[in-house]
Structure formats: C-alpha cells, structure tokens
Amino acid sequence: MKSKAPEQCQLCSLYYEAENFCAKLSGRELDELHARSRLVSIKRGQMLNDDVLERWPILAIDSGVLCLRNLLHDGRRTIAAFFLRGDILDMRAAENRRLGDLIALSPVSLCRLSPEVFDHILSVNPRARTVAWKSLSGQAYRALSHASDLAKKQALEKLASFVFECRRRQKGLNREHVEIPIRRRDLAEYLGMQPETVSRCFRDLEERAIIKVSDLSVIRILDLPALRRIANGDRVLQALGQVPDPVFKIVTKEA
Amino acid sequence: MKSKAPEQCQLCSLYYEAENFCAKLSGRELDELHARSRLVSIKRGQMLNDDVLERWPILAIDSGVLCLRNLLHDGRRTIAAFFLRGDILDMRAAENRRLGDLIALSPVSLCRLSPEVFDHILSVNPRARTVAWKSLSGQAYRALSHASDLAKKQALEKLASFVFECRRRQKGLNREHVEIPIRRRDLAEYLGMQPETVSRCFRDLEERAIIKVSDLSVIRILDLPALRRIANGDRVLQALGQVPDPVFKIVTKEA
DNA sequence: CGGCAAGTTGAGCCAGGTCAACTCCGGTGG
DNA sequence: CCACCGGAGTTGACCTGGCTCAACTTGCCG
C-alpha cells in the first residue's frame, strides 16, 4: 500500500516517480530497504569518500547532479559521466572506484542502499530487477554514446550532442527549452574541451540563431533540425555559417 | 552434470570457461537455453543487421572480436567499444541500436540467446545473474574508462592506455606480451585518431624502448612503469626520454 | 608472383588549446 | 548603500598537436 510507505520515502523521487526503483517495491520490501538504508544530502563540490563507498556501494540518486571525475597526474581533469535522479550506481566492483571520484556538481540528495537488501530484492522482484538492469544498461549506453562523441566529433558537434543528451534525460515535457544542469567549467571537463572553447561554441550556435542562451542554465532551441544535423556530424551545414569565401588559394606568398 | 552438456556447448568458451555465463547453468537450464539459441559464425567485416537483432537481441561472444561502430554523416567512423569472448550484449533497448552497427573485426563465433530463456534464467539462477550483471557492469566500466581516455588524453597517452586495456582483458597469464586483437585502422577509430598518428605513436614508444612491436598483433612491454606513467598522463616523462628526475609523490586523494 | 589493402613516413596546415586580460555577478563587510 | 573581493564566464591573440594529403613500403591472399 503506497500510503504506508515511510514518510521519508514519500518525498523521494525514487519512490514517487513511477518508473523508478523504489516505486516497484512491495510495502514490505520498501520498509525493509528503508530500514537498512540512509538518505543523505551532499553539498556542491563535496566528494564521496572511498571508505564510505566501501560500506555503502549502492547509491540511488534522488535529486541533484553527481559526477564521476577523474584526475590525471598533471592536473588535467575529466568528468566521465554524470548521474541524475533515478540513476542507481553499483560501485561494488573494486575497479569501478579506480575510474575516479564521485563528486556533487550541485546539491545532491541520494540514498545509500543496503547491498544485501538490494540484492535480495533483485532476486525476488522482477519489476525492480528490470528497473535496475535498465538503469545500468542506460549508463552503459550513455557512456558508449559519449565515447563516440568524444572520439571523432569537433567541439561544436560535441556541444550540440550534449544539448540533446540533456534534452533526452530531462524529465519535463518541454522539448524546446533544455536545462543545462551543470556549469560551463564542468561541461568543458565532460566534453574534453576548455571552458573557453565551450563559450565560443555557445556563441557560435547563438550567432547562427540555432539556440538562444537565456541564462547560464537554460537554453532554447530555435532550429532543431540544424542542431541535430550538427550533432550528427554534418559538416556541410556547419560551414554555412561562414561567408562562402572565394575558393582561390593565393599562392604568391613565397619569396 | 557437465558431461551431459550439448556437444556444441562443450566447445564454446561460454561454457568451458568457468567464469562465463553458460558454465553457471544447471544441466536442464543449459539444455533449454541451447535448444532455443543459435550459435553462428561471422566473417570479418560482416555486420549484424537490425532485423535479425530485433529477434535475437541477446548475444554472447564465444570467440573473436565484435565491435560497435558508429558512422557520422560525412563518413567519419568511430568504434565505440569492442567485445570479446565471454561478453554478453543486451540489445533489447531500442536506443542501443542507435549507437551504431555491430561489426566483426575478426572472424567471430557468437551465440544468439533466446531472450525468454535468458530472462527466465536470470530470475531463477543467482550465479548466472551475477555473471550477466558483472558483464554489463564491466561494459559500463570500460566505456567510462574509455570516455575518460578520449576526453583529455593526448595521442601517446591514449595508446598507452589502450595497451593496458588489452592487457587487462586478455585471458592468458603472460603479462609481458600483449596481444593487440584489432588492426591499426580499427585501433585508430577506437582511439579517435588517424591511422598515421597511431603508427607514429607506436614508433615513438619503440624508439624510447618502452615497448617492442613484434608483429602487428603482438607487442612486448619493455618498461612497464614508464608505460604506466604515460597512460596516467604524466607529461613530465613524456617530454622525451626523460631522466627519472626527483621522484614526485603523487598525492591523489586527501581530505 | 602479382595485385591490392594496410601500414608507414614526410610536409604543411588548422581546430582548438593556452595564456592573459577583461566582464559579470553574488556575497560580504564597512 | 556602496566598495570590494573572488570565482565563473567570456573575449582576443597566439601557438601546437595531430589531422590531412600524398607518396611510399609492407604484408596478405589468390
């Protein structure tokens, strides 16, 4: 019975959003999971440290943006992925922790699930298992998609792809306005570019009237097909911004 | 009873390697799965087409290298991931097929598993479920790790990382010789660079006596620490056959 | 052994990194 | 209220790692 859910869970998107994990649980399962789990709040910039992860390796995001950040020896930083409400992270594999640190990019509310209860639920509740499987599968999908973007796309194309990623992942129905849930600096780290380049690319898209940057965290898509073509790597369109310059190459520069 | 396994399965690494999926099945489960599945061979370069994937979305690799290749509109190609023996792919999510095409980079032998039987096994056999979960989780891990590599690393660093990826994934015990299971051209697509650059980087590593390229498909690691430092983005070392300067203590994590 | 694809080498160039200067904005304290 | 501060974002100028193109060599398969 929904009305019997623990009060804390009533306010948690993992429960009140019908497609999320906790919404699939029976009253008894939810009670048991709740009893052995911990809902915590994390401030922006804060990192989940390793020894706590050791004891609480299953994380379910209620709200906010958590990211996986990786530090190279000489200080270069990369954000490999970010996680939003509804995502379930399984950090039990030791190797997963070598990927980097989990850091809050905004205030985050998440639930540390008891691994034992989680596992038990997976074994007895097919609908919950499906949700968990889909979450993991979705993470793999996004990581692959992101890797494709990083491998061969140019800066402008990566940014356009990113806008679509945000659009796909945002819950709201508004498809024209897209929320950029992270700051420019973090966005740059996610896309493997410099903040300066991110800024230049936004300006470029805006000058071509493809998007409108309202404030730093919301953009409006003005020309969806154009944006899509850029995201898909259609270089012909990208060149159109430029004045179709004379095709002559001046060869008189040598002495 | 192992001796009762279908003859075809006896020869399949998914069964005879103890850590793989089919090895975890009871005799009855294996029989049932075998009866409703199809072991197929695929030639190099051949692509698994979509309508077949629709009916047979669960693939288990017996041998060979399968990759996920993504084509941009203007012809740029990316290999987002490659899959080796033991890997289980779940292409049921429609979105997964938008990531690109599954293409054999070498002769591949794989088993198309019946989704129904597969699902049923996941619900009743915890050990098999764990294997499947780990396979998926490993794919997510590698994709994230790969994305980190692509985002901020330079060509030489990416190549060094790739050598370690191959090393981790290869089954044999020999840790000094690493098999490069794919060709230069494919490797370039995987690392988001040009074949020319791959070639130059191999030569560079060889000139510094860090690796020895025996033939195109096997390398020998001569200086493991140096290779590791490069893979981890230690630019000091990269700046040409460097004298091992004062040993910097790398302090990764601190309060 | 011939033919073709894969891989390598070299020379030149450009997208995006780097550096430095500047603006913008929210918070803080006088 | 304003002055001040610090961090984020933006802009411009310059520089370089790796892409491009072209020529060459090597390896593979009939």
Residues B202 and B210: their CA atoms lie apart, in Å, by 10
List per-residue pLDDT tens for chain B, 255 residues long.
Answer: 445 789 999 999 999 999 999 999 999 999 999 999 999 999 999 999 889 999 999 999 999 999 999 999 888 999 999 999 999 999 998 888 899 999 999 999 999 999 999 999 999 999 999 999 999 999 999 999 999 999 999 999 999 999 999 999 988 777 889 999 999 999 999 999 999 999 999 999 999 999 999 888 999 999 999 999 999 988 765 554 443 333 333 333 333
Check CB contact under 8 Å for B73 and A153.
Answer: no
Looking at CATH, the fold of the domain delimited by B153-238 is given as: Arc Repressor Mutant, subunit A (1.10.10)
Angstroms from A252 CA to nearest CA on chain B: 30
Say yes or no for a CB contact (<8 Å) between A232 and B68: no
- Residues carrying CATH 1.10.10.10, chain A: 153-239
**Which residues of chain A are in CATH 2.60.120.10 domains?**
2-149
Chain B nearest-CA residue for A133: B133
Positions in chain D where some atom is under 7 Å from a protein CB: 8-13, 17-22, 27-28
DSSP for B92-140?
-SHHHHHT-EEEESS-EEEEEE-HHHHHHHHHH-HHHHHHHHHHHHHHH
Where does CATH 1.10.10.10 sit in chain B?
153-238
β-partners of residue A58 are A90, A113
Give yes or no for CB of A199 within 7 Å of strand D.
Answer: yes
Compute φ and ψ for B162, nearest 5 degrees: -60, -40
Residue A3 has what pLDDT? Answer: 58
Q: What is the CATH number of domain A153-239?
A: 1.10.10.10
CA distance B107 to A46: 48
- The pLDDT confidence band at residue A247, using thresholds 50, 70 and 90, is very low
**Per-residue model confidence (pLDDT) at position B2:** 47
Tell me how far apart the alpha carbons of residues A85 and B147 are, in angstroms, rounded to a whole number: 22
The residue among B29, B32, B2 whose CA lies nearest residue B16 is B2
Extract long-range pairs of B178-185: CB within 8 Å, 24+ residues apart: B178/B218, B178/B219, B178/B220, B178/B221, B179/B217, B179/B218, B180/B216, B180/B217, B180/B218, B180/B219, B181/B65, B181/B82, B181/B84, B181/B105, B181/B106, B181/B217, B182/B65, B182/B67, B182/B82, B182/B105, B182/B106, B183/B105, B183/B216, B184/B216
Helix (H) / strand (E) containing A211: strand A211-215
Q: Which fold has domain B2-148?
A: Jelly Rolls (2.60.120)
Q: Domain A2-149, what architecture?
A: Sandwich (2.60)
List CB contacts (< 8 A) between A144 and chain B: 68, 80-81, 99, 143
- Amino acid in the structure at residue A3: S
pLDDT in tens, A18-76: 999 999 999 999 999 999 999 999 999 999 988 999 999 999 999 999 999 999 988 89
Contact between the CB of A107 and strand C at under 7 Å:
no
Q: Is the CB of B216 under 7 A from strand C?
A: yes
Cα-Cα end-to-end distance for chain A: 87
Q: 0.85 exceeded by the pTM?
A: yes
CA separation for the pair A236, A242 (Å, rounded): 11
